[in-house]
């Protein structure tokens, strides 16, 4: 029950913050207030943005946490806060882009 209340509160806060991302002064204020803080809802508590991911296939807690679906609609805000989409950069090769020439 308490986790549900916290999640609902996080969703309301994120909705309000994301609606103000067009205002540079407010963005600066949000960045200063939340910098280096555990401000990303991870389903069982708040974690720093650099430990939260929008996509994570395995349970990597306590090192990395997947952002729950309830707050996923606020991707613009989460990216602004420093949340990444995936934990590792995906290498791009000419073969993955459809180049079928032999090496």
Extract the tokens encoding 50.
């650099």
pTM here is 0.78
Each residue of 60-98: b (16+ CB within 10 Å) or e?
eeeebbbbeeebeebeebbebbbbbeeeeeeeeeeeeee
The pair of structure tokens assigned to 97 is: 């882009």
Encode pLDDT of 74-93 as tens digits.
999 999 999 998 766 555 55
Q: Give the span between the Cα atoms of 19 and 4, in whole angstroms.
A: 23
pLDDT score of 88:
62
For residue 99, pLDDT over 60 is answered with no
Domain enclosing residue 64, as ranges: 2-81
- Evaluate whether residue 56 is within a structural domain: yes
Q: Is residue 19 part of a domain?
A: yes
Tally of domains in the chain: 1
23 within domain boundaries? yes
Task: Measure the CA angle with vertex 40, ends 64 and 49; round to 5°.
Answer: 55
């Amino acid at each position: 029950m308490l986790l549900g209340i916290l999640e609902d509160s996080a969703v309301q806060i994120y909705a309000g913050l994301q609606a103000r991302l067009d205002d540079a002064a407010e963005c600066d204020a949000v960045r200063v207030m939340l910098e280096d803080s555990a401000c990303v809802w991870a389903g069982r508590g708040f974690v720093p943005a650099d430990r939260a991911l929008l996509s994570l296939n395995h349970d990597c807690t306590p090192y990395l946490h997947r952002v729950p679906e309830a707050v996923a609609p606020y991707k613009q805000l989460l990216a602004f806060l420093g949340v990444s989409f995936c934990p590792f950069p995906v290498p791009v090769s000419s073969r993955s882009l459809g180049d079928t020439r032999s090496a």
